[in-house]
Amino acid sequence: MSDCLFCKIVEKKIPAEVIFEDEKVVAFLDIKPVNPGHALVIHRHHHVDILDTPEADMQDLIVGAKKVATILFEKGLADGVNIGMNNKQAANQLILHAHLHVIPRKIGDGLKPWSHKDSTPDGLQSIANQLRSK
């Protein structure tokens, strides 16, 4: 897509710190990293988000994320990794080209990525019933 920032990175029309690429995906450093080494994995095909991305391309993305995670561990930038995908405005997706975040974690880095809410068995059952209904 000609006006997509990440497609321009795929096409090498704008610079990025690429750390891994193959025939399917490109991984590069996030310019606003959560931790040093925070990388984004994108498919060479333009898709907007998880709903728009064919299953085969989602598989390529997660395999790419595994390769990036392996590199982060091997190079000593990670004791652990969080892998995330923001989809749509409500989830803070900023670039409308589907991407996985691979966020390296170090023991004691203090990052708390999620806040949690309390639940009840009845509340969980109600939501599960809604999600299971046809």
Taking the least distance from each CB to Zn ion, the nearer of 7 and 83 is: 7
6 near Zn ion, judged by CB under 5 A: yes
Q: Which two tokens stand for residue 84?
A: 């995330």
1 near Zn ion, judged by CB under 5 A: yes
47 is catalytic: no
Task: Check the CA dihedral 11-55-21-42 and report its sign.
Answer: positive
97 near Zn ion, judged by CB under 5 A: yes
Separation CA 134–CA 127 (nearest Å): 13
Active-site position among 47, 97, 99, 101: 99
Min dist CB 75 to Zn ion, Å, is: 28
4 near Zn ion, judged by CB under 5 A: yes
Site string for Zn ion, 31-50 (x = CB under 5 A): ---------------x----
Nearest-5° Cα angle at 48, 44 to 53: 70
Separation CA 49–CA 8 (nearest Å): 17
Q: Which two tokens stand for residue 17?
A: 């710190």
Catalytic residues: 99
Name the residues that contact Zn ion, by CB under 5 A.
Answer: 1, 4, 6-7, 46, 97
